[in-house]
């Protein structure tokens, strides 16, 4: 048995980087566990979707160091032997106590943001397997770090600023789909494009973004925080400082980290501010919608595309946009495929080419409720995203995928019918959105 595991582990380690092209069984998972004991192998998940990605450890470290060795973004401090996490925790505790005694923060806030038993913020990379060269996207895990609760608290304060720059923001793909289906379409002239910011979080100018926030909080009609601007700037700097990778401490110089509580909100504020400048001197397209660093645009004609793309790339030196144009009258955006018809836009669920079809197995050691909820969730997504003409085809795809994960056809049919009946009685976008912190 062990010889078989070793053989399979060797095949996995030397197979194409994304190992989702076959059906996973118990022995495959045992082989992956065996691979985890090999120091020259690094196993992770892809940036999007399910699957297993196997790296040579040296290649993974090299790709991460390519990011961290950019001295304009990160400053190397020292190795782990001089870890300053405890000192940072004590420093923050003392400073927060001072602010509480000075009545700048109340007792509840002090108890909330005061760090205890902290760990180092850790940075790691997730591979973008759908892009050439398999680049890494850097993720900062701040959970249990000295700055984590502070960053969460500051992100709530910055919600007031975000609202000022959210005119073009999409809440989720459900509302995006509904909006698209309500639009009139001129199939003869309308043209679809999407724009993506290259490495937004590692290129976003942190100092400039914090200044935008401070100007909105202290030099506008927004309600002022209970503390002075210099304290706000100090707290923002404290919340966005050091990270650790490969037993080395780094300080963020001018970068916003993804997976930090402050990351998405600062990115949205910076891009929203740049958009507010853009549309003072550039005509707004027929439709312009953005979800963080991805933008979906409908132009009145194809002739408008190149000029608008040039204007986007001249917005700011930190922003480099790429473009994707419609193919065969359709364009994917988020998990939605938008198609032009004669006078309307139709929408259906979109899956990346790297989609593995891997969900929880019916034979897995998990509760039946969890498996049934998967069926209901997939059906609800189909109902919220798909145009009427596309719904039956999507429901058939869902059934086919679930069957491959071991689900019984009778179980699938029963709960699809129940989900459809419930939706027809009470259609909704789901629960009210609430903050999710990583």
Structure tokens at 87: 């000192």
> How much is the pLDDT for 311?
95
Cα(376)–Cα(188) distance, integer angstroms: 38
Cα(60)–Cα(42) distance, integer angstroms: 7
How confident is the model over 104-131, as a mean pLDDT?
87
Residue 8 reports pLDDT greater than 60: no
Burial 175-213 (b: 16+ CB within 10 A, else e): ebbeebbeeebeeeebbbbbbebebbbbbbbbeebbebb
> How much is the pLDDT for 81?
52
How confident is the model over 100-115, as a mean pLDDT?
92
Number of alpha carbons in the 13 Å side-chain half-sphere of residue 370: 9
pLDDT-above-70 percentage for the chain: 86
368-376: long-range contacts, CB 8 A cutoff, minimum separation 24: 371/407, 372/411, 372/415, 374/402, 375/402, 375/407, 375/411, 375/412, 375/415, 375/416, 375/419, 376/415, 376/418, 376/419
Residue 258 reports pLDDT greater than 70: no
> How much is the pLDDT for 7?
57
> Out of 32-41, 100-109, 331-340, 387-396, which region has the weakest mean confidence (pLDDT)?
32-41
Structure tokens at 245: 């990778």
Cα(112)–Cα(49) distance, integer angstroms: 34
Cα(297)–Cα(195) distance, integer angstroms: 8
Number of alpha carbons in the 13 Å side-chain half-sphere of residue 193: 22
Look at residues 119, 109, 191, 198 and name the one whose alpha carbon lies nearest to residue 153.
109
Q: Per DSSP, what are the bridge partners of residue 287?
A: 298
> How much is the pLDDT for 252?
72
Residue 5 reports pLDDT greater than 60: no
Find the DSSP H helices in 356-436: 368-385, 388-404, 409-425
> How much is the pLDDT for 403?
95
Q: pLDDT tens digits for 321-354?
A: 999 999 999 999 999 999 988 888 999 999 988 7
pLDDT band at 100 (very low <50, low <70, confident <90, very high): very high
Q: What is the pTM of this model?
A: 0.81
> Out of 38-47, 75-84, 163-172, 348-357, which region has the weakest mean confidence (pLDDT)?
75-84
Burial 48-61 (b: 16+ CB within 10 A, else e): bbebbbbbeeeebb
Q: pLDDT tens digits for 51-76?
A: 778 888 889 889 888 888 887 777 78
How confident is the model over 173-201, as a mean pLDDT?
89
pLDDT band at 21 (very low <50, low <70, confident <90, very high): very low
Q: Phi first, then psi: give them for residue 423, nearest 5 degrees.
A: -65, -40
> Out of 19-33, 296-310, 416-430, which region has the weakest mean confidence (pLDDT)?
19-33
Residue 429 reports pLDDT greater than 80: no
Cα(65)–Cα(246) distance, integer angstroms: 9
How confident is the model over 138-152, as a mean pLDDT?
85
Residue 438 reports pLDDT greater than 50: no
284-288: long-range contacts, CB 8 A cutoff, minimum separation 24: 286/190, 287/183, 288/168
Q: Per DSSP, what are the bridge partners of residue 77?
A: none
Contact 412, 403 (CB under 8 A): yes
């Amino acid at each position: 048995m062990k010889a078989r595991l070793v053989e399979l582990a060797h095949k996995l380690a030397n197979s194409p980087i994304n190992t989702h092209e076959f059906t996973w069984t118990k022995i495959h998972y045992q082989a992956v566990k065996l691979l985890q004991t090999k120091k020259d192998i690094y196993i992770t998940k892809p940036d999007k979707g399910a699957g297993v990605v196997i790296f040579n450890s040296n290649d993974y470290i090299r790709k991460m160091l390519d990011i961290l060795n950019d001295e304009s973004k990160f400053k190397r401090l020292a190795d782990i032997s001089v870890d300053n996490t405890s000192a940072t925790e004590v420093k923050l505790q003392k400073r927060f106590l001072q602010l509480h005694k000075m009545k700048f923060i109340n007792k509840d806030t002090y108890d909330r943001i005061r760090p205890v038993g902290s760990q180092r913020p850790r940075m790691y990379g997730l591979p973008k397997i759908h892009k050439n060269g398999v680049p890494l996207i850097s993720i900062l895990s701040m959970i249990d770090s000295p700055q984590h609760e502070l960053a969460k608290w500051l992100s709530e304060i910055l919600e007031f600023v975000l609202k000022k720059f959210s005119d073009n923001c999409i809440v989720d793909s459900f509302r995006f789909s509904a909006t698209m289906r309500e639009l009139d379409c001129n199939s003869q002239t309308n043209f679809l494009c999407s724009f993506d910011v290259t490495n937004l979080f590692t290129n976003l100018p942190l100092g400039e973004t914090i200044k935008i926030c401070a100007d909105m909080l202290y030099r506008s009609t927004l309600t002022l925080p209970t503390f002075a601007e210099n304290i706000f700037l100090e707290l923002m700097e404290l919340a966005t400082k050091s990270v650790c990778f490969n037993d080395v401490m780094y300080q963020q110089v001018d970068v916003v980290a993804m997976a930090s509580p402050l990351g998405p909100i600062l990115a949205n504020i910076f891009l929203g501010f740049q958009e507010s400048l853009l549309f003072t001197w550039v005509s707004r397209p027929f439709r312009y919608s953005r979800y963080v660093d991805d933008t979906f645009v409908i132009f009145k004609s194809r002739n408008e595309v190149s000029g608008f793309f040039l204007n986007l790339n001249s917005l700011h030196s930190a922003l480099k946009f790429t473009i994707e144009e419609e193919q065969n009258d359709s364009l994917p955006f988020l998990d939605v495929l938008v198609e032009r018809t004669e006078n309307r836009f139709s929408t259906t669920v979109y899956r990346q080419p790297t989609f593995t079809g891997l969900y929880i197995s019916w034979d897995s050691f998990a509760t039946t409720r969890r498996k049934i909820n998967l069926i209901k969730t997939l059906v609800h997504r189909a109902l919220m995203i798909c145009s009427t003409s596309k719904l039956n085809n999507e429901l058939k795809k869902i059934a086919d995928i679930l069957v491959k994960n071991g689900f019984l056809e009778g179980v699938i049919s029963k709960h699809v019918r129940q989900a459809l009946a419930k939706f027809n009685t009470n259609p909704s976008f789901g629960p009210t959105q609430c903050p999710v912190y990583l």
